[in-house]
Chains A and B, each alone.
Chain A
Amino acid sequence: MILAVLSLVGLYVAMYLWLYKLGIVGTLSCKIGSCEKVNTSPYAILFGVPIAFWGVLYYVGLFTAALLSTTDRFGNDRRMAPALVALTGWGVLFSAYLTYLELAVIHAICQWCVVSAILVVVMFALAVVELRAGRAGRTTPA
């Protein structure tokens, strides 16, 4: 459940950065680091599309999966927990790569990217806990 709430927060963060890239948001609110420097760097584009847009797609997918996992129909599906671990794990790896770019290549930090990175790490931890709890539940004798 918490996973769905956190992924919704992540979706809003990604949408905010995407709207900035589209020129709909004038300036980024940025108290820490240099969000503009990061978001206008060549690394803010992947396959010709802003990274923020990929972020929006990612969080929509994650939010949908997390929401489905709270329903009766999919909540008891054994494949759900590993799928959430895989999705959030991918987010952690990609965020690690983006953080590396910020620190080692662009030499600037974007606070919204940091928020997103923290969110995926927390969601990954929650998904792992959920997976373990599910496995423990299944192996416990009745």
Chain B
Amino acid sequence: MANRNARASQKQFTFLLIAVGVIGAGALGWVTTRPKGGGQAIDPNMPLGTAQGFMYGSPDAPVKIIEFADFECPACGQFATLTEPDVRERLVKTGVASIEFFVFPLPMHKNTWSASNAAYCANEQGKFWEMHDRLFYTQDLWNGEATSSPDKKMKGYAADIGLDAGKFDACFDSQKHYPNIKASGAEAEKRLVTETPSFIIGGKLYAGSLPYDQIKKLVDSALAKVPKADTGKKGAK
């Protein structure tokens, strides 16, 4: 009797194990073979516009920090909210460096095109950086995990930073900057950027959310290579 029970129990266990194995393998197979995009459908035939970098600081600063970032990428958000304030305060405002920001929308992010569109439209009214900051500081509220309809949020942020709502909405709804956003992404790929954020400092590409100390080191190193007449009396703290 006990033997029969043990055999039945062993049978049930084997069945359960096989069932979990098959279901799990099926689920993993499905997630690895489904289309990876998951993001907003973008017309693949859309023409390329102009790749535009958004400048923070003086264009004449001796060292240029070129950043490629995706508004929906958490590491970019971490950099923008934790590290960038120090970079702006200590390196940009002192005239040592400038930041040129290129949008690099990654295909896995659902709402990044909407956010990029909002930033480009804010730029039309001279408030790119205000929108940049707003988007990164509120990333958890509008990203693909938070909402599937981010446009309303974008329009709310435009109002928050004091943009003309009529002009912003017209720009945003027309999606006229989409070709430029695509061009900005193409510019990143052309420069062999594979992840966000990535930075070009002193002509070299660095991937990942760099801490302030590392950026300072790289900027100092680039500054040392700039001819003295170009640097003047500038120096970073």
Residues of A bordering B, CB below 8 Å = 1, 4-5, 8-9, 11-12, 15-16, 19, 24-27, 29-30, 34-37, 40-42, 70, 108
Contacts and interface: CB of A to CB of B under 8 A. Distances in A.
Given A37-B74, A70-B13, A27 B20 contact: no
Interface in B83-130: 107-110
B24 A8 contact: yes
A27 B143 CA distance: 12
A24 B32 contact: yes
Contact of B145 (A12, A24, A30): A30
B17 A27 contact: no
A25 B36 CA distance: 7
Interface of B: 9-10, 13, 16-17, 20-21, 24-25, 27-28, 31-32, 34-38, 73-75, 77-78, 107-110, 140, 143-145, 209
Contacts, number: 66
Given A26-B107, A36-B74, A40-B75, A16 B31 contact: yes
- Chain B's interface: helix, strand, loop or mixed, by majority? helix
Contacts of B16: 5
Given A36-B74, A40-B75, A27 B144 contact: yes
B21 A8 contact: yes
Given A36-B145, A40-B75, A41-B74, A4 B32 contact: no
A72 B13 CA distance: 15
Nearest to B73: A40
Contacts of A42: 209
Contacts of A1: 9, 13
A25 B140 contact: no
Contacts of B75: 40-41
A114 B74 CA distance: 19
Contacts of A108: 140
Which 10 A-B pairs rank lowest in CB-CB distance, beginning with the nearest? Answer: A26-B36, A12-B24, A37-B74, A1-B13, A27-B38, A26-B108, A27-B108, A25-B31, A40-B74, A8-B20
Nearest to B140: A34
7 contacts: A1-B13, A9-B20, A12-B28, A15-B28, A19-B32, A25-B32, A34-B143
Contacts of B17: 4-5, 8
A34 B145 contact: yes
Contacts of B13: 1, 4-5, 70
A19 B145 contact: no
Contacts of A4: 13, 17
Contacts of A19: 28, 31-32
Contact of A35 (B10, B35, B36, B145): B145
Given A19-B28, A37-B74, 8 more contacts: A5-B20, A12-B25, A27-B144, A29-B31, A30-B145, A37-B140, A40-B75, A108-B140
